[in-house]
């Protein structure tokens, strides 16, 4: 009887292997939920032994919190990418909220909903959720502050305005597992409308500015 040849395992530097594990766990979390992020599941997905995963993450909860942190950090970078730093604050705000409203981030909304529930029982995840919430809030407050300084936005309290808008975003996220299209629930633009109300903008301003910014970006060589 001839034995079937086993695929040759690629050797990686420790930091590369660790990053691969975290990215794989984040993908599982986004597609199937944080409950499915186990050492064995990640090992099976990567085609390695569970012992390799436990070498880097002796406690599964640590891998769960890192997977969440990785996914949400990538989310923030894609919502407010650094290559858009040169745009006017109003254009950046418009792009941020329209991207969320157009449901391109539905899996991430489910992930946030999932993480907030599980964080009641997992200390490491609760700390990760708090850290990511703070990072997003800080970046958003800074963006609104720049808009006020530029004369594009109007508010007496950038922090309070940001909280009202982000609370609306989180409220929309609570419908992430609802099969009813947000258009039918007439709530898709709730965060956009809240932002326009809180920041002294005429209705429709943010979607119009997002379209203009997208058209300008497409026209650039």
Convert the pLDDT of each residue in 148-175 to its tens digit.
999 999 999 999 999 999 999 888 887 7
- Please compute the mean of the pLDDT values over residues 134-161 and round it to a whole number: 96
What percentage of residues in the chain have a pLDDT greater than 70?
86
Asked whether residue 218 carries a pLDDT value surpassing 80, the answer given is no
Question: Is pLDDT larger for residue 149 or for residue 1?
Answer: 149
pLDDT band at 183 (very low <50, low <70, confident <90, very high): low
d(CA 33, CA 155): 38
pLDDT band at 178 (very low <50, low <70, confident <90, very high): low
What does pLDDT average to over the chain? 88
Asked whether residue 5 carries a pLDDT value surpassing 60, the answer given is no
Question: Is pLDDT larger for residue 215 or for residue 128?
Answer: 128
Asked whether residue 4 carries a pLDDT value surpassing 80, the answer given is no
Structural domains of the chain, with CATH: 65-219 (1.10.357.10)
Can you give the pLDDT at residue 219?
A: 56
Could you read off the pLDDT of 41-100 as tens digits, one per residue? 999 999 999 999 999 999 999 999 999 999 999 988 988 899 898 999 999 999 999 988
pLDDT band at 3 (very low <50, low <70, confident <90, very high): very low
| pTM confidence score | 0.83
Q: CB count, 10 Å around CB of 156?
A: 7
Asked whether residue 200 carries a pLDDT value surpassing 60, the answer given is yes
Token pair of 214 as six digits: 């997208």
What percentage of residues in the chain have a pLDDT greater than 90?
68
Can you give the pLDDT at residue 73?
A: 93
């Amino acid at each position: 009887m001839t034995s079937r040849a086993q695929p040759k395992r690629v050797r990686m530097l420790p930091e590369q292997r660790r990053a691969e594990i975290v990215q794989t766990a984040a993908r599982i979390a986004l597609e199937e939920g944080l409950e499915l992020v186990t050492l064995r599941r990640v090992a099976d997905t990567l085609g390695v032994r569970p012992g390799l995963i436990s070498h880097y993450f002796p406690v599964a909860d640590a891998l769960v919190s890192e997977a969440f942190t990785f996914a949400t950090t990538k989310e923030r970078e894609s919502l407010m990418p650094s290559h858009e730093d040169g745009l006017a604050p109003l254009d950046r705000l418009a792009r941020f909220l329209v991207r969320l409203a157009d449901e391109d981030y539905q899996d991430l909304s489910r992930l946030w909903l999932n993480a907030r529930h599980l964080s009641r029982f997992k200390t490491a995840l609760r700390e990760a959720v708090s850290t990511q919430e703070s990072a997003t809030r800080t970046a958003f407050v800074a963006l609104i502050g720049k808009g006020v300084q530029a004369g594009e936005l109007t508010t007496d309290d950038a922090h309070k305005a940001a909280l009202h808008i982000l609370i609306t975003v989180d409220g929309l996220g609570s419908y992430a597992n609802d099969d009813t299209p947000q258009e039918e629930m007439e709530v898709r633009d709730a965060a956009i409308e809240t932002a326009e109300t809180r920041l002294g903008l005429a209705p429709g301003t943010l979607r119009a500015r997002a379209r203009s910014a997208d058209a300008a970006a497409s026209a650039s060589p």
